[in-house]
Amino acid sequence: MVRKMQKRDIGTQATGDTGDNNDNTAERLPHRTSEEKSQQTGSYHGRDFRIQSENSSIASDEDKSRPSAVEIDTYIDFDDLLPEIGEFGCYQKMLFLLMIPFCFISAYVYLSQIFMTLTPEKYYCFVHDLTLIESEQERKELSIPKLKDGSYSRCEMYDTNYTAIYKAKNRTQFMNSSLPRIPCREGYVFSSSEAFFTANIEFGWVCDNDFYATYAQMIFFLGSVLGCLGYGHFADHCGRLAALVSSCSLAFFGSLFTGMTKNFWSFVVTRLIVGAAYDTCFTMIYILMLEYVGPKYRTFVANMSLAMFYSPFTMLIPWIAIYLHSWRSFALYGCIPLAFGFVSFCCLPESARWLVSRGKIDDAIDILKRVAARNKRVVPPVYWKRFRESCELFYKEEFEGRNFTVFSIFKRPRLARYMVFMCLIWMIMSLLYDGHVRAASVLDKENVAVVFTIACATELPGDLLVIVTLDRFGRRWCAFTFTTLSGLFSLVGANLSHPTHTLVAALAGRFFANVCYNIGLQWAAEVLPTVVRAQGISLIHTLGFAAMLLSPPVIYLSNLSLSLMLNTLGGLGIVGGIICLFLPETLYEDLPQTLSDGNNFGKDQRMWHQPCCGEGRRRIAHTKHTWHEGSSLRTLSRDEFRSKKLHRVAVVKTRASRQYAPSFVSVSRGPSLLSQGTEILQRVQNLRQDSTHQKPK
């Protein structure tokens, strides 16, 4: 869905950012002792802005013409810059409010398909020869057989001569329940009390043709899979804003032409187009929002945007459909908000991270300066200079270094196992969530709008529960608990005889499915290493859409038995919860950045590891990456670095000074920046001491 989603490219940006939200500062800044940190703390918002003059007492006259050690040593990343330009100021609040129309777009694109193909509850076979009989009850008695419960069949009629019945003076003699039965052959009569005129009613997708609605739902998700793959490539090459505008445009024209379709094939083609836009039309604004928000606000903003905007719109969708009454009107008028995507270029900024990745560093800095100006923050020029140099170095290293693909994950056994488990968990969570969303339309067919609204209302407390529990009890046990509870309540509901009790249990299963779905994508972003995080998340998200292809067939099982449908969802929840226990906990952990880190991640955790109850670790020694330099854009492992510049900890020159540097510290040919008692010398000595106790990778 859109949901929550939506969130494929959150792997590219936002999911990576969400994962970085739990990284400690040491992952992005050089490793320093507490004494060094206190020495290097500047007066401007806790940042280090000391320049060359501080080193004048320890450097020669020749050194004064060179950049300071701090300028060379420190890399400024986006997460380092955000506190200076404002983490959640006026600009970010404006972006937060601009998510409102896109949340409606997301809810409409995802849920409109359900109501357009909603199967009516009351109908029976149409018999043309009996249309002139005024009494509907008499027509049913003459043509429609009764079922065991006393109701009239919806898909069968008597095989007899209806012309003779109509002309007979005494029609009651032809009322014979022992007559042979045949499927409806002249169409159907639908109840005038139906609140919404669906495509199923217009095209006759009921009884033997009811599979057409299921196929239409599946083709919608097929479009989502294709769109997920296509727009991932498009967004990387043309920009996040371009992907947002084009996907909204695609959804607009797809919905517009949906209201003009005349048959099944034209209907599914337009829904395939709308499905291709689904996910992207929300995740791009979701990414932009999270990118410009500071790390400590991202969990709050990510979940509150869904709780405050997305959830209320999902509750509103069925009532909009009922108000418009017809599926064609719903398709035509409902797409009007999609036109907001056309003006996104005027309201939204481009992704600054994407601009840097494409070498457009000046454009990225211009946007960030506008953010600082709107937030009324003043950033010293030296800080912009360091940020520019960091971006230029990163851009150069991207082209000089090695490239990693999602297939690199499967070269490391433990990391490959994590990837397989995460794919399975996300597919189960996606199928479980989407299955429960669609189940609301069949749990009580006489009160679909009311039940659907109540089911969607569970989104809000579910989002709030994630905020309260996820950073307290950890990802693993939360995912296990909520996924298992979703499965258990579904199983309980399947085996209850009273319809109201079954409905309540199924809604409880829906509530916990909401919670586990919110956990899944963030957890995947934290388990996967930085160097393959974007591609890994994209693959996982695509497989999630592929799993959603199975949710319409699962809901179709309700035509056979409601218990069979709920038992299937319950079994999926139990299996998914068990698999969650085989992934590592990421709360309070230094998240992996390289393939080697990912392969070693979680090795020291015991099976019952629970962050809120203690570390739960095995007592083994850890290898510290003491030579890691600053930016979270960089990798750590020596055999996976993108450029040899990544090993530079200090600029060293003279033979005498080399004795203080460990073997992996690069040595330049420039003038020395080391002298006795300096900060740089102290850092190198600390590195040398660490290297004598542990061998670097």
**What is the per-residue pLDDT for 536?**
80
Query: Residue 348: inside a domain, yes or no?
Result: yes
Helices (H), 440-498: 448-457, 459-473, 475-494
Helix, coil or strand: residue 605: strand
**What is the per-residue pLDDT for 403?**
63
In 174-270, beta strands by DSSP E: 181-183, 188-190
Query: Residue 382: inside a domain, yes or no?
Result: yes
Q: Are residues 463 and 599 in the same domain?
A: yes
**What is the per-residue pLDDT for 489?**
94
Q: Are residues 548 and 430 in the same domain?
A: yes
Query: Residue 223: inside a domain, yes or no?
Result: no
For residue 169, the enclosing domain spans 123-190
Query: Residue 616: inside a domain, yes or no?
Result: no
Q: How far apart are CA 356 and CA 345, in angstroms?
A: 19
Which residues, including other chains, have CB under 8 Å from residue 10's CB and lie 6 or more apart? Answer: 16, 17, 18, 283, 286, 287, 290, 521, 525, 537
Under-70 pLDDT residues of the chain = 1-75, 395-403, 530-531, 534, 593, 609-697
Tokens 């479009």, located at residue: 223
Q: Rg of the chain over CA atoms, in angstroms?
A: 31
Query: Residue 47: inside a domain, yes or no?
Result: no
Q: Are residues 367 and 257 in the same domain?
A: yes
Q: Are residues 247 and 342 in the same domain?
A: yes
Query: Residue 428: inside a domain, yes or no?
Result: yes
Helices (H), 14-53: 14-20, 34-39
Answer with the one of 139, 156, 190 that is the final residue of a domain. Answer: 190
**What is the per-residue pLDDT for 565?**
92
Q: Are residues 114 and 127 in the same domain?
A: no
pLDDT digits over 77-94, tens only? 777 788 888 888 899 899
**What is the per-residue pLDDT for 597?**
78
Q: Are residues 439 and 558 in the same domain?
A: yes
Tokens of 25: 């500062």
Total structural domains within the chain? 4
Q: What share of the chain in percent tops pLDDT 70?
A: 74
Q: How far apart are CA 179 and CA 686, in angstroms?
A: 96
DSSP code string of 59-104: S-TGGGGSPPHHHHH----HHHHHHHH-SSSHHHHHHHHHHHHHHH
Query: Residue 518: inside a domain, yes or no?
Result: yes
**What is the per-residue pLDDT for 45?**
36
Torsion of CA 204, 433, 3, 310, to 10 degrees: 90
Query: Residue 54: inside a domain, yes or no?
Result: no
Q: Are residues 109 and 129 in the same domain?
A: no
Choose among 644, 642, 649: nearest CA to 665. Answer: 649
pLDDT digits over 490-528, tens only? 999 998 888 889 999 999 999 999 888 888 877 877 788
pLDDT digits over 587-636, tens only? 877 777 677 877 888 777 777 766 666 555 544 444 443 333 333 333 33
